[in-house]
């Protein structure tokens, strides 16, 4: 597994942990600060440990990224940006239909920040999945061993 694949696995983990912040916010409303502190420390550790594991081994003789890796990253970024544009387009159309064309557009900051937050998480998740999917295919669509 090369660094790009390790980064993609970390991206999936990161997006799942960021989705868990909503659960953390729910815990915040139900329980007190000691439990919040413990959960925050565990999540912080889960975010820092993969960065250390990815960066700790560096073989100077081994190439980090070649042309295939660059092409895979470009395609994955394209898929992620298309998804991001689609999310923002759907959010705009839903707000336009829900509120009506003639009315003033009154969207709260909570709703707007939620759309941006989940779009960011979806961007990271799709980018990571697209990278891993492309590494799983061979030159003609066969599975790599």
pLDDT tens for each residue of 121-144: 899 999 999 999 998 865 555 455
The reply to whether 114 falls in a domain is yes
* Global model pTM greater than 0.75: no
Residue among 33, 18, 39, 36 at smallest CA distance from 123: 18
Instruction: Please say if the pLDDT value at position 92 is more than 60.
Output: yes
The reply to whether 141 falls in a domain is no
The reply to whether 58 falls in a domain is yes
Which residue(s) pair with 14 in the sheet?
A: none
**3-state class percentages of the chain: helix first, strand second, coil last, to nearest 5:** 80, 0, 20
| Total domains, the chain | 1
Q: What is the pLDDT of residue 126?
A: 92
pLDDT tens for each residue of 27-70: 666 666 666 677 777 777 777 776 666 666 666 677 677 888 88
Q: Mean pLDDT, to the nearest integer, of 103-118?
A: 74
Q: What is the pLDDT of residue 35?
A: 67
The reply to whether 145 falls in a domain is no
Q: What is the pLDDT of residue 79?
A: 92
Residue span of the structural domain in which 23 resides: 3-136
CB 123 within 8 A of CB 84: yes
**The total number of residues written for the chain in this structure:** 145
The reply to whether 77 falls in a domain is yes
Q: Mean pLDDT, to the nearest integer, of 99-115?
A: 71
Which residue(s) pair with 85 in the sheet?
A: none
The reply to whether 82 falls in a domain is yes
Q: What is the pLDDT of residue 74?
A: 92
């Amino acid at each position: 597994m090369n660094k790009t694949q390790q980064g993609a696995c970390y991206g999936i983990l990161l997006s799942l942990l960021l989705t868990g912040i909503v659960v953390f916010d729910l815990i915040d409303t139900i329980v007190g600060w000691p439990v919040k502190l413990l959960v925050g420390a565990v999540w912080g550790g889960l975010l820092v440990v993969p960065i250390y594991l990815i960066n700790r081994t560096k073989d100077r003789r081994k190439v980090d990224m070649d042309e295939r890796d660059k092409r895979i990253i470009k395609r994955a970024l394209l898929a992620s940006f298309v998804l991001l544009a689609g999310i923002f387009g759907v959010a705009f159309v839903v707000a336009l239909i829900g509120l009506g064309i003639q009315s003033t557009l009154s969207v709260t900051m909570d709703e707007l920040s939620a759309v941006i937050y989940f779009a960011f998480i979806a961007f990271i998740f799709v980018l990571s999945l697209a990278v891993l999917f492309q590494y799983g295919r061979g030159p003609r669509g066969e599975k790599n061993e």
